Amino acid sequence: MNVQLFQFNVALGNFEKNKNKIAQLFSEELLKTTSIVVLPEMWNNGYDLENLNDKADDNLKLTIKFISNLAKEYNVNIVAGSVSNKKQGEVYNTLVVFNKNGELIYDYDKIHLVPMLDEPKFMAGGQFLPQPFKLTDIDMGGIICYDLRFPESTRQMAVNGAKVIFVVAEWPDSRLYQWRHLNIARAIENAVYVIACNSCGSDGKTTYAGHSMIVDPRGNVIREVGESESTIFAEVDVELVHEIRESIPVFRNRRIDLYS
């Protein structure tokens, strides 16, 4: 399985600019052997929180049209980051996944909202834990940014079969150390690949860390970029997940009888 991450500077509150940026990346950077493309968090409007009530997508209508067409045109699966999405009168931070036929196969509303960014004042938190989904016949999972600090989300997906975890983020550069080490920790403790796509640059309020990375189930960072707009490409060998889980059987050794 070949994965490609697009790390770019998300324009604050400018859906058209961000959409055109993504279209350009697909046109100019996408490799023919890529099977899954990954985008960062909130790519449609960024953290323009005060204006999301007006600017957020409406039940994913614009997102589905745009990403579905890309998936079909380029015959590629897309973990399309997350978008600000309005439904039932509330704005959510929604992760979306499309298969290469352009079908929306999975969506998840971020459950952990960021108090440091006043996210709970402007958005609603999801009410359901993320669940595994299947792409390229492999069980995978996805979380959004701040979710990374809560190991329960990733663990329950790994226990339920996920071998690859995608992390989509707009993680600030002031907490780069935590970004790197939490991604590595989630990979090691769950014996999964962690594929983490962050944004970069500044939106005038926050500077984002970049440093998108791919971590193998041993905790080795096999690909990582810096703080500038970049593309990562890597082959992911899921057989390694099976090998690690057999040699270090953490799931069989869990003491769920003692965990509350």
Q: Are strands 207-209 and 230-235 parallel, antiparallel or unpaired?
A: unpaired
The H or E element that residue 82 is part of is strand 77-87
The H or E element that residue 190 is part of is helix 176-190
Residues with active-site annotation: 41, 110, 145
Retrieve residue 232's tokens.
């990562």
Beta bridge mates, 135: 138
Retrieve residue 169's tokens.
């983020």
Q: Are strands 36-38 and 2-7 parallel, antiparallel or unpaired?
A: parallel
Q: Are strands 164-169 and 138-144 parallel, antiparallel or unpaired?
A: parallel
Dist. CA 59–CA 57, nearest whole Å: 6
Tell the residue number behind the tokens 């990582």, with chain if given.
224
- Exposure of 133 by Cβ count < 10 A (0-12 exposed, 13-18 middle, 19+ buried)? buried
Retrieve residue 8's tokens.
């770019």
Dist. CA 18–CA 211, nearest whole Å: 20
